[in-house]
């Protein structure tokens, strides 16, 4: 394998291909899994009900099945998040992206937050899966919340911390909604405050090869993206490797990832 081929593989294996849009159909899920297979990405990130179908479609490949828990607002009771996690694992998921209880974070109820993360992480590890904890940074107005979450996730020993859901729109004083997602300052903060063994996933707003390479150079390990085909086709063009056969157009994720 040439250095450029190795780089393209590294890029592909950073990507969790996002298939989370609320209106996504089974036909689009099938197309998305086909795209993930064609580009040999790290995983698909899908809604819980879709795990059995995706597991069937991706069986025998090295594209992992990931799903979301408490998504997108994090409001489910801990017992429900645990039950969702166990069911997802039984259905074939091996990566779990869980939205933390944001109200409890903002109230600084750290005992609750720690217990929630620990409970879901235990459910994951007991069933052969890993946990990514979603902070939803757009809703956290002060860095101290993000730093404390990094500390807790390090203490518990989760696999990843993750910036955003891709759907955390904030209503401004003008009544309009805006969204930042994975900002470079937030990624730097998270990278600086997680302990050894805890990796960082960027989600929301990174839609180009240059954006991916920027966060890769920072030390980010995974990227949630719906622009997977565009990113990887640009990588093939730029680095002179052979492109995947018959590229498939990426599924539109609206204003999500």
Which residues does the annotation mark as catalytic?
97, 162, 201
* Polymer length in residues for the chain: 257
Measured CA to CA in angstroms, residue 179 lies from 34, 41, 71 at distances of 29, 26, 17
Helices and strands, counts by H and E, the chain: 10, 10
CB < 8 Å & 24+ apart, contacts of 184-190: 184/214, 184/215, 184/218, 186/137, 186/146, 187/163, 187/215, 187/218, 187/220, 188/218, 189/143, 189/146, 189/147, 189/150, 190/135, 190/146, 190/150, 190/161, 190/163
Chain centroid to CA 225: how far? 8
Cβ pair 245, 234 in contact under 8 A: no
Query: ∠116-20-16 over CA atoms, to 5°?
Result: 80
Here the tokens at position 170 are: 């904030």
- What is the rounded distance in angstroms from the CA atom of residue 45 to the CA atom of residue 160? 14
Cβ pair 204, 166 in contact under 8 A: yes
Element at 104 (helix H, strand E): helix 102-106
């Amino acid at each position: 394998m040439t250095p450029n081929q190795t780089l393209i593989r590294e890029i592909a294996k950073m990507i969790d291909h996002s298939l989370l849009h609320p209106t996504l159909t089974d036909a689009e899920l099938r197309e998305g899994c086909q795209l993930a297979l064609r580009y040999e990405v790290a995983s698909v990130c899908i809604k819980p009900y879709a795990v059995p179908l995706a597991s069937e479609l991706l069986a025998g490949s090295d594209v992992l099945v990931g799903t979301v828990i408490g998504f997108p607002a994090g409001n489910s009771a801990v017992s429900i998040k645990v039950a969702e996690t166990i069911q997802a694992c039984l259905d074939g998921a091996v990566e779990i992206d869980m939205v933390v209880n944001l109200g409890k974070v903002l109230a600084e109820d750290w005992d609750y937050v720690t217990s929630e993360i620990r409970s879901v992480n235990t459910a994951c590890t007991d069933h052969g899966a890993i946990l990514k904890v979603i902070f939803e940074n757009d809703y956290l107005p002060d860095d101290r919340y993000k730093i404390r979450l990094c500390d807790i996730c390090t203490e518990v020993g989760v696999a990843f911390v993750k910036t955003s859901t891709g759907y955390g729109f904030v209503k401004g004083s003008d009544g309009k909604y805006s969204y930042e997602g994975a900002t470079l300052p937030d990624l730097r903060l998270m990278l600086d405050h997680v302990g050894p063994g805890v990796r960082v996933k960027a989600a929301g707003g990174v839609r180009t090869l240059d954006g991916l390479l920027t966060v890769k150079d920072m030390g980010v390990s995974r990227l949630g993206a719906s622009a997977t085909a565009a990113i990887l086709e640009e990588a093939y063009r730029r680095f002179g490797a052979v492109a995947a056969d018959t590229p498939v157009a990426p599924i539109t994720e609206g204003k999500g990832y």
